[in-house]
Structure 1
Amino acid sequence: MLSAAAVAMIGGVAMPTGSASAAPMQGDIDILNVALGLEHEAIAAYQIGAESGLVKGKALDAAKLFQSHHKGHRDALVSTIEKMGGKPVAPKSQADVAKALNAGSLKTQDDVLRLAAKLELGAANAYLGVIPSFSEGMLKQVAARLAADETMHWTALSGVLGLPLPTGPLSFGA
C-alpha cells in the first residue's frame, strides 16, 4: 500500500514547493535523479545483453522481463521527479554505457548474466543506502520497493548462474 502522499503524487497532485520544503525537496530530487541514472544504465545494459546474441532461452526471457521492470522504475522516477518540480536526468547513449561496462569483454551468456547480477546487486545496495537520506517519507518506501525488485533480480540471476546465496543475515545494503 502506498502512503497518502505517494498516492497524491502519483495521482498528479502537486507537491508543496514553499521555501521551507524547497531544500529538502531538491535533495530528494537529486537522489531520485541518481536512481534514475541507475535505471537508465540497467535498461541499456539489458539491451546490450539482448543484442549481443549471447543470451538465449529462459535467460533471455528473464532479461527482457527485468528490463521491463527497469523501464517501469524509470517511468515512475521520471514522473515523480517532474511532479516534484525537477528535471529528470537524460540517459547516456547506448555506446557510452557499453564502453563504461566494458561490453566488448562479454564473450558468453554467463559473462552477460554476471554483469547483470553485479549491476542488480549494486542497485539494490544503492537504493537501500539512500533510504535514510530522503526527507519525504513516501520516497523511503518507494526506494525500499525498488531495492526489493533489484534484490529479486540479483537472486534470480544468481540462481541461473549457480552462485551461492549469502550465508549470513543482513547481506544487502551494507
Structure 2
Amino acid sequence: MNKIQTPDSLISPASRRGFMRSGGVLSAAAVALLAGNDVMAAAHAQKMDMSKDVGILNVALGLEHEAINAYQLGAGSGLLQKPVLDVAVQFQGHHKTHRDALIATIQKLGGKPVAEMKLEDYAKSLNAASLKSQADVLDLAARLELGATNAYLSVIPALGDRELAKVAARLAADETMHYTVLTSALGRPLPPGALSFGA
C-alpha cells in the first residue's frame, strides 16, 4: 500500500481533540483492524479509501501519546501518593496498549503513525508547571480521560457491524473507567444525569 500522510494541522493536542469532536468517524475496516480481525477488515477495505481512516486513527494515536506522557509527568512529579501512583501507572499501561493497537492498525492500512513528541513538549502543552498538588495532577488526567471517552464514543454511531461497534465501545469503556476513578479520587460527585458521556 502507499504511505498515507497525516496533515500537520492534526499534530497539536488541541487540534486532535477538536478534530475528534467535530465528527471524525472510522470506517468498519479500520475498527476491524483495531479489533485484530484482519479477515473482516479486508472485506470492508476493498470498498473504501483508507486515507480518512488513517487520519482519524492518527488523531486517536496522538491522544494516546498525550495521555501516556501526561501520566508520565504525573508519576515523575513526586506529587502522587503511593496508591494513586500505582493506579496512574496502571492507566498509563492501558494507554500504551491502545497506542500499540493504533500503530499496528495505521501501518496495516499503509499509513505512517504520527510520532510521539518529547516529554518536554507535552509538559509545555499541558502546562505541567502549574501542577502543584496531587489534585492538580488528577484533575488534568480526568480532563484528558473525559476527552478520550467522548472521542471514542463519537465513532460508534457510524458502525453498522455489531462487533466493530463493540471494539469502539470497549475503548471508550476503558477511558470512562479511568475518568470515573479519577473523579472519585478527587472527591467529585458522579455526573448528575444519565447519558452524560459522548454528548
Alignment of 1:18-167 (within 5 A): 18=46, 20-22=47-49, 25-133=50-158, 139-167=164-192
CA apart distance, 1:90: 0.8
Note if contact 2:145-2:179 (Cα within 8 Å) is conserved in structure 1.
Answer: yes
CA apart distance, 1:87: 1.3
SS at match of 1:123: helix
Match of 1:15 among 29, 42, 55: 42
CA apart distance, 1:59: 0.5
CA apart distance, 1:131: 2.7
CA apart distance, 1:83: 1.2
Identity %: 61
Q: 1:102 to 1:46 in 2, by over 3 A?
A: same
Aligned positions, number:
169
Amino acid of the structure 2 residue aligned with 1:32: L
Q: 1:137 to 1:80 in 2, by over 3 A?
A: farther
Report the TM-score when normalising by structure 2.
0.76
Report the TM-score when normalising by structure 1.
0.86
- In proportion to residue count, which structure has more helix? 1
1:98-157 CA-to-partner distances (Å, cap 9, x unmatched) read 101100000000100010001001110111123335688755432221111000000001
CA apart distance, 1:85: 1.6
Q: 1:60 to 1:114 in 2, by over 3 A?
A: same
SS at match of 1:53: coil
Q: 1:39 to 1:135 in 2, by over 3 A?
A: farther
Gap regions ≥5 residues in structure 1: none
Distance 2:127 2:33 in 1: 40
